[in-house]
Structure 1
Amino acid sequence: MENVIEFLSEATSKLVAAKGEFDILLAPVYIEYGKALYRYSVMLGEELFFVFHDKKHGAGESEKAEAAEQVESNLETAWEVLEIARSILDGREERESRAMLADVHAVLGEIQTENEKFESAADDFERCLELRRGLFEEDARE
């Protein structure tokens, strides 16, 4: 997973240098990078929970703090890149853009839940649902 994150980080940096931070071509890259960071943070957090609570492999306070800081940093970076993707996609009318925006709001909601910001999470999940309903209704009419 770390290799994927490193690859997406490098790809994002190169595309930003070539196209600019807010080019529409970067939206899917930001989304995948944000998702990968979020998933890695959750995975790392779960792993650390079990290691830290295992009596045989108890970790010191500094190790716990360092691990928690890494999870928090990854979640913060995930939120930042997803917010950039959201700003790129917000207001765009193309179906693909609205589908990507729904995905962005879903992951932002998950991150807000991890950070115990439940009202913000609910807002993001509601926006995701609203977008997906609109896409579903379009499909039903076709």
Structure 2
Amino acid sequence: MKQLHSSKILNLCDLVQGRPVLLVNTASHCGFTKQFGDLEKIHQQYKDQGLVVIGVSSDSFNQEADDEAAAADVCFKNFGVSFTMLATVPVKGAEAHPLFKEVARQDTAPKWNFYKYLVNRQGQIVDSNSSMTLPSDKALRKLLAAE
């Protein structure tokens, strides 16, 4: 998949091979956008233990910036995001990117921005959380520590 506001293409299999993943569909103009800060804290806390945090920009709920540069500014400048951010793709319905078609097959498609999916080292979703569950949620943090 293409990295946000970059021409770089990332091979997700190489990026996550044998590592747990926290996958999040994001949007830059959403009431939950402040979660970027907590996601960055999770990235910093667990990256040395192998956790890969991946944000996927999505306009499936009509709350993403009109261009990637603006979306990137929100992530990188406003919230200091250093975890992997991927370019905008659809995350629900027939037009969903294959990654999110697999998410829906294993669990449930995002119903809004900032759905969080914890994927184990074998590529299976072991937990999912809605936008309402903050990244700082104690139960989510306990699961992250266990992976």
Report which of the two has the higher share of strand. Answer: 2
Higher-RCO chain (CA-CA 8 Å, sequence separation at least 6): 2
Report which of the two has the higher share of helix. Answer: 1
TM-score (norm 1): 0.27
TM-score (norm 2): 0.27
